[in-house]
Amino acid sequence: MARPCKGVALCDRLDLMRIFGAHFEAEPGLELHSPDRVETPDEIEFALAWRPGPEAFAPYPNLRAVFSIAAGTDGITVSRSLPRGIPLIRLRDPDQALQMAGFAVFQVLWHHRGMADLLTAQTHHEWARTPGGASPARRRIGILGLGHMGRQIARSLVALGYPVTSLTRSPPEPEPGVAHLTQADRAAFLARTDILINVAPMTEETRGLLDRALFDALPRGAALIQLGRGGQLVETDLIDALDRGQLSGASLDVFATEPLPKGHPFWDHPKILVTPHVAGEPEPKAVVENVRRGMEELDA
């Protein structure tokens, strides 16, 4: 006997149907509904979201779980209609972690190998070799957060020969080649970090974490790679640290306001590389599998 279809409502300001619609259609037993096309909202048991509006979940009194299409859930927990007491299931997509790792490696090389200067030299037709300093052993990488993303990033950088240290609140599962420190050793972690990669989740504890005090605790000339969430960065402190020469450069993929407003000073800053939140995107197949797995666990 065929299993009854499970109604999954899209609860988001983004057009998630365009991205995920066809993938759910191909999945027997799952029906994805656009919020404006749900005829019987009390039959909807599951919701899929990333950045829902404040009332996005209000129409569905019988939700059993909410699925995030992303690694983080910070965009969902701010919705005041999110039902309390039901699971909020985040995405763990190995493909997305590989994308993040590739992106982080690119950004590390960008800073380590002075790509911004090389590109400027090219525009002037200058053969600007700067011999020495190319060995990965010369750039110590510090990773804030060693979860699903941070671990894959660490692995990739270790494979390239970079010395990698992670900082987390509790001691993580050991990762070969990675030195682990916890909050008590934060000062030591920062003092030995030439390139800082932030992949800690957005929490009250990490809000405004990337500030003047943190930048000043890094060795002079360190670089920042910000892949976490925009609210973790104190923007004026970053510009100040770059202009003072305390930091040599920053790669920013996430911002307090996205899209980054046209007139924002980050766009034109010569030491900042701006990318539009593209470090890692969820594979639709993984989103569908996550929903399927979550439902099976709830039904078990």
> Between 63 and 202, whose beta carbon lies closer to ligand NAP?
202
Q: How many CB atoms lie within 10 A of CB 282?
A: 21
Site residues (vs ligand NAP, CB under 6 A): 71-72, 100, 144-150, 167-170, 172, 199-203, 205-206, 227-229, 253-254, 277, 279-280
Asked if 151 is an active-site residue, the reply is: no
Q: How many CB atoms lie within 10 A of CB 81?
A: 15
Place of tokens 């996550």: 290
Q: Concatenated DSSP letters for 178-191?
A: EEEEEGGGHHHHHH
> Between 66 and 144, whose beta carbon lies closer to ligand NAP?
144
The catalytic position among 229, 264, 269, 293 is: 229
Q: How far is the CB of 21 from ligand NAP (least distance, A)?
A: 22
Q: How far is the CB of 257 from ligand NAP (least distance, A)?
A: 15
Q: How far is the CB of 60 from ligand NAP (least distance, A)?
A: 25
The catalytic position among 64, 92, 113, 277 is: 277
d(C-alpha 126, C-alpha 131), whole Å? 15
- Per the CB < 8 A criterion, the answer to whether 258 and 246 are in contact is no
> Between 166 and 246, whose beta carbon lies closer to ligand NAP?
166
> Between 9 and 287, whose beta carbon lies closer to ligand NAP?
287
Q: How far is the CB of 222 from ligand NAP (least distance, A)?
A: 17
Asked if 207 is an active-site residue, the reply is: no
CA 45 to chain centre: 28
CA 149 → CA 72, 116, 117, 195, 200, distances in Å? 11, 26, 29, 17, 9
Q: Concatenated DSSP letters for 231-269?
A: GGB-HHHHHHHHHTTSEEEEEE---SSSSPPTT-GGGG-
**DSSP strands (E only) in 105-243:** 141-144, 164-168, 178-182, 195-198, 222-226
Q: How far is the CB of 64 from ligand NAP (least distance, A)?
A: 23
> Between 171 and 221, whose beta carbon lies closer to ligand NAP?
171
Residue nearest to ligand NAP (CB): 147
> Between 60 and 255, whose beta carbon lies closer to ligand NAP?
255
d(C-alpha 141, C-alpha 163), whole Å? 6
Residue 165 makes CB contacts below 8 A (sequence gap 6+) with 140, 141, 142, 143, 178, 179, 180, 181, 189, 192, 193
d(C-alpha 164, C-alpha 147), whole Å? 15
Q: How far is the CB of 158 from ligand NAP (least distance, A)?
A: 16
Positions marked catalytic: 229, 277
